Amino acid sequence: MKNITLLWVAMSFLLMSGAVKAGPHDNKVRNLLDSDIAAWLSDPLLIEAVKRQNSTHASLTQRDIDRLDKTWRSEKKSIDKPMIDNVLSNNLSVFLKKVAGNSNGLYSEIFVMDNKGLNVGQSKQTSDYWQGDEAKWQKTYLAGPKSLHIANIKYDKSALGFQIQASVPIVDPTTQSNIGAVTIGLSMRKLALRKIK
């Protein structure tokens, strides 16, 4: 046990210094995506929520998207948060909170994006509403049904631990085309303890 603690302290130092990236953990992440995550990612509730928002947001311009994102960011600092509360209380967010809650701390966050990079549902509040200008959406939704983006390891203040974000497209099971994307924050401590199936 002492050796594991010392190893984790050394790993934490390397992570903070930026010397270690997500690469060594790619196999565990891919295994997790192929097993546990694939099971809930194809849930009809999730698929229908993304398709519904794609339809609702079909006519949004970039100006509209920027306005929505600005509203979200300003609500983060406000007592009244109608837009944020609406997203955090929708059926998909309730579903994602259950998925995260049942992961025994492995999933530190989950958020689902539509075909414009806007949040559809999330397990906890994100810093912004529009992810379309970030790699998590651009390297998944815009890439292809089999794409995967694994970010560098970062310290997550809200989870009080190191995490990596793994992002993949959400694929319509009928058309096999990308309809959105999902980002899953993974606890490095929990991932290190996970055995590959």
* Residue 49 reports pLDDT greater than 60: yes
* Residue 16 reports pLDDT greater than 70: no
* Burial class of 187 by CB neighbour count within 10 A (0 to 12, 13 to 18, 19+): buried
- Mean pLDDT is lowest, of 91-95, 116-120, 188-192, for 188-192
3-state secondary structure of 163: strand
Q: What is the pTM of this model?
A: 0.86
* 148 part of a folded domain: yes
* 105 part of a folded domain: yes
* 7 part of a folded domain: no
Distance between CA 162 and CA 165 in Å, rounded? 10
Residue 196: predicted pLDDT = 64
Please report which confidence band the pLDDT of residue 24 belongs to, taking 50, 70 and 90 as the band edges: low
* Residue 99 reports pLDDT greater than 50: yes
| CATH code assigned at 168 | 3.30.450.20
**The domain containing residue 173 runs over which residues?**
22-193
* 16 part of a folded domain: no
* 13 part of a folded domain: no
Which residues have CB under 8 Å from 185's CB, separation 6+?
Answer: 107, 108, 109, 110, 156, 159, 163, 164, 165
* 9 part of a folded domain: no
* 129 part of a folded domain: yes
Query: How many structural domains is the chain composed of?
Result: 1
* 170 part of a folded domain: yes
